[in-house]
């Protein structure tokens, strides 16, 4: 028993004397950049960065417990979610300890989310012990944020209240991060994202159905559905179609397997007075401003009375182009 107590005393005395040496740990974080984000793509965006911790100058080759505490950042006041700012516009994101995004990276200053700890083994060389470890910070921006406007979004982690490294060398059991508050080294880094103006567009087909003699006007409708970044101005143009000799003012469906044609036109209004084209030959385009959510446009189609061609299926292909 006395021998065990003596050994313990020697180890404790040695650890106590460590404080008088120039041992230290430093942290080197990298910035986390989400790159470009489309708020209408319907997909989440992930990115990652690293924090490298280097310990040196320790007289004993005992492990070091390092704890990395991350606050909410300058963009907001909550952990779930964290936010980055572009003026008053807020981009929701979060930082995680795992690639699956299941463990929010927190701090000893909150009871809701824990800091991340790593035990760094040290090896002796030249009379002192040293070691290092690298932690990965996983970031994720969730989809479905329609209020975002285009621009650069930023959240900074400056000062120990936002990003802090604490560490302590130990003999048997690693200390808890909740009880470690020194030496409290700042780990400054920045989270960035660039939200872009973007649009998506989809369409339904237009079907005039079955007709006999083309002695009366045939009508039909289709729908264009667009989603553009909030506050993003856009316009939609419709092509002449693929029929031989067609223009935006005189569209033509062509018989499948043949050359015969049926003239028709597309309009922006039900009355058939505003031809929808590319802005030339008396036609106009449709204009709008993005809301970050889906917006619908009705395409009105008419076949005016004309000489009836032979029976068959008549088709045309129109390309809708959205400019933003």
- Answer with the one of 195, 221, 251 that is the final residue of a domain: 195
Q: 178 and 286: one domain?
A: no
Q: 237 and 206: one domain?
A: yes
Instruction: State the average pLDDT for the chain.
Output: 93
Segment 108-118, tens digit of pLDDT:
999 999 999 99
**pLDDT of amino acid 22:** 83
- Answer with the one of 132, 163, 195 that is the final residue of a domain: 195
Strand partners, 200: 227
Q: Would you say residue 16 lies in a domain?
A: no
- Answer with the one of 167, 195, 223 that is the final residue of a domain: 195
- Taking CA atoms, 95 is separated from 36, 47, 99, 145, 153, in Å, by 18, 10, 10, 17, 15
For the chain, the farthest-separated pair of C-alpha atoms sits apart, in whole angstroms, at 116
**pLDDT of amino acid 235:** 98
Q: Would you say residue 6 lies in a domain?
A: no
Q: Would you say residue 27 lies in a domain?
A: yes
CA-wise closest residue to 224 among 268, 280, 265: 268
Q: Would you say residue 313 lies in a domain?
A: yes
Q: 156 and 44: one domain?
A: yes
Q: 239 and 138: one domain?
A: no
pLDDT tens, N- to C-terminus, the chain (324 residues): 333 332 333 333 333 334 445 899 999 999 999 999 999 999 999 999 999 999 999 999 999 999 999 999 999 999 999 999 999 999 999 999 999 999 999 999 999 999 999 999 999 999 999 999 999 999 999 999 999 999 999 999 999 999 999 999 999 999 999 999 989 999 999 999 999 999 999 999 999 999 999 999 999 999 999 999 999 999 999 999 999 999 999 999 999 999 999 999 999 999 999 999 999 999 999 999 999 999 999 999 999 999 999 999 999 999 999 999
CA-wise closest residue to 159 among 72, 288, 37, 87: 72
**pLDDT of amino acid 49:** 98
C-beta separation of 290 from 231 below 8 A: yes
Q: In sequence order, which residues have a C-beta less than 8 Å from that of residue 249 and are 6 or more positions away?
A: 265, 275, 277, 281, 282, 283
CA distance 143 to 267: 35
Q: 190 and 240: one domain?
A: no
CB atoms within 10 A of CB 9: 10
Domain with 171, as residue range(s), is 21-195
Q: Would you say residue 106 lies in a domain?
A: yes
C-beta separation of 302 from 272 below 8 A: yes
Q: 168 and 206: one domain?
A: no
Q: 248 and 211: one domain?
A: yes
Say which CATH number the domain at 126 has: 2.60.40.1090
**pLDDT of amino acid 20:** 43
Q: 261 and 288: one domain?
A: yes
Q: 97 and 137: one domain?
A: yes
Q: Would you say residue 158 lies in a domain?
A: yes
Q: Would you say residue 95 lies in a domain?
A: yes
Q: How many domains does the chain have?
A: 2
Q: 32 and 180: one domain?
A: yes
Q: Would you say residue 113 lies in a domain?
A: yes
Secondary structure element (H or E) that encloses residue 43, with its range: none
**pLDDT of amino acid 21:** 53
Q: 182 and 210: one domain?
A: no
Q: 40 and 71: one domain?
A: yes
């Amino acid at each position: 028993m006395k021998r065990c107590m003596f050994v313990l005393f020697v180890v404790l005395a040695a650890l106590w004397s460590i404080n008088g040496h120039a041992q230290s740990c430093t942290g080197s974080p990298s910035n986390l950049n989400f790159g470009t984000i489309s708020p209408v793509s319907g997909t989440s965006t992930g990115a990652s960065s690293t924090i490298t911790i280097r310990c040196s100058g320790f007289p004993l080759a005992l492990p070091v417990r390092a704890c990395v505490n991350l606050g909410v950042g300058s963009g907001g006041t909550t952990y779930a979610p964290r936010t980055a700012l572009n003026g008053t516009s807020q981009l929701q994101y979060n930082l995680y300890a795992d690639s699956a995004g299941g463990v929010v990276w927190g701090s000893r200053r909150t009871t809701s989310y824990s800091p991340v700890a790593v035990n760094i083994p040290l090896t002796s060389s030249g009379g002192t012990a040293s070691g290092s470890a690298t932690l990965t910070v996983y970031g994720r921006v969730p989809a479905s944020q329609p209020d975002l406007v285009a621009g650069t979004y930023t959240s900074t982690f400056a000062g120990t209240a936002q990003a802090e490294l604490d560490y302590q060398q130990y003999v048997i059991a690693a200390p808890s991060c909740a009880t470690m508050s020194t030496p409290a080294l700042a780990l400054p880094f920045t989270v960035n994202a660039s939200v872009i103006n973007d649009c998506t567009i989809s369409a339904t087909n237009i079907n005039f159905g079955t007709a006999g003699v083309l002695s009366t006007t045939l009508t039909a409708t289709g729908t264009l559905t667009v989603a553009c970044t909030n506050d993003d101005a856009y316009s939609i143009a419709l092509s002449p179609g693929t029929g031989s000799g067609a223009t935006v003012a005189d569209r033509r469906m062509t018989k499948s397997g043949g050359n015969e044609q049926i003239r028709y036109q597309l309009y922006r209004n039900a009355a058939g007075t505003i031809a929808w084209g590319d802005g030339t030959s008396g036609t106009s385009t449709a204009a709008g401003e993005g809301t970050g959510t889906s917006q619908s446009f009705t395409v009105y189609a008419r076949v005016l009375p004309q000489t009836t061609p032979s029976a068959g299926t008549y088709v045309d292909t129109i390309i809708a182009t959205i400019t933003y």
